[in-house]
């Protein structure tokens, strides 16, 4: 058995014995992984166990597998990754700066199913033949979309959209070159005055970012009401209600 797999099995056993919830206490899982790796490294000196080549890498891999979302965790932790999608187990794509790229991440069919089940655990949503597609939110706020056969032809299709905050006020959009200073001033005044503003555009066009920037101009005493759950809205100065 590969060294990393042996360490992972030992960490999982300790997690069970100590009744640790990996989803709620990832730091405890990391401490266990570091302890197990240190102990394993000493035992491997006898030559009876495979040698660990990179202790830090093994700790990261085991923590991701036990307390995170396995091979996808590295992409979820990458602040430059905006979106992740799985067309099939051997084809995992990410998007950076609006451009897609095929990663070296290789999954198995069972691995994809296991990851999706873990992602849905906190949402209360289910995925089966009677409900072959699901939209949910991860604890981080990222959106999860999954579709399974017979809606898809063969494999489970998984999409995770992260909300990468690039701007929170219209002045930030000016600095980024998205709009002029006069345009930003006009929009801020329109929002503060209570005028109707329509934000429209294609996927990844920046609608939610624009909405967040506009919401910064909402007077502090106003109440914000949404007609659906929008997890990426970050406005916290006013009460935010979903209707």
Strands 240-242 and 224-226: parallel
What average pLDDT score do residues 174-202 get? 92
Beta bridge partners of 81: 96
Between the alpha carbon of residue 242 and those of residues 23, 137, 224, 228, the distances in Å are 27, 15, 9, 6
ω into 57 cis (within 30 of 0): no
Per DSSP, the chain holds a count of helices (H) and strands (E) of: 8, 8
- String of DSSP letters for 181-193: HHHHHHHHHHHHT
Q: What share of the chain is helix, strand, coil (3-state, %, to 5)?
A: 40, 15, 45
pLDDT digits (tens, 9 = 90+) for 160-184: 998 766 688 899 999 988 899 999 9
- pLDDT of 24 reads 87
Alpha-carbon span 72 to 152, nearest angstrom? 21
- pLDDT of 240 reads 52
Mean of the per-residue pLDDT values of the chain: 88
- Tell how far CA 25 is from the center of its chain: 17
- pLDDT of 148 reads 93
What average pLDDT score do residues 88-95 get? 94
Structure tokens of 64? 């991701």
- pLDDT of 62 reads 95
pLDDT digits (tens, 9 = 90+) for 56-65: 999 999 999 9
Length of the chain: 243
pLDDT band at 221, cuts 50/70/90? confident
Higher pLDDT, 75 or 227: 75
- String of DSSP letters for 19-62: T--TTT-HHHHHHHHHHHHHHHHHHGGGSSSPPPS-HHHHHHHH
pLDDT digits (tens, 9 = 90+) for 29-63: 999 999 999 999 999 888 888 888 899 999 999 99
């Amino acid at each position: 058995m590969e060294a990393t797999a042996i360490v992972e099995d030992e960490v999982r056993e300790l997690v069970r014995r100590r009744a640790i919830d990996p989803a709620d206490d990832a730091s405890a899982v990391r401490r266990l992984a570091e302890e197990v790796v240190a102990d394993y490294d000493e035992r491997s000196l006898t030559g009876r166990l495979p040698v660990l080549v990179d202790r830090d890498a093994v700790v990261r891999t085991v923590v991701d597998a036990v307390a995170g979302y396995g091979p996808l965790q590295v992409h979820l932790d990458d602040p430059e990754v905006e979106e992740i999608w799985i067309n099939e187990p051997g084809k995992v794509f990410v998007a950076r700066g609006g451009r897609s790229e095929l990663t070296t991440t290789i999954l198995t069919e069972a691995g994809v199913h296991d990851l999706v089940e873990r992602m849905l655990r906190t949402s209360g949503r289910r995925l089966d033949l009677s409900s072959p597609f699901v939209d949910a939110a991860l604890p981080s706020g990222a959106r999860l979309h999954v579709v399974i056969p017979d809606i898809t032809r063969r494999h489970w299709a998984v999409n995770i959209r992260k909300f990468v905050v690039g701007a929170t006020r219209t002045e930030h959009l000016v600095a980024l070159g998205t709009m002029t200073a006069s345009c930003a001033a006009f929009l801020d005044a329109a929002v503060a005055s209570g005028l109707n503003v329509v934000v429209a555009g294609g996927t990844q066009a920046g609608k939610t970012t624009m909405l967040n920037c506009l919401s910064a101009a909402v007077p502090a005493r106003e109440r914000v009401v949404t007609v659906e759950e929008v997890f990426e809205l970050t406005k916290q100065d006013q009460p935010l209600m979903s209707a």
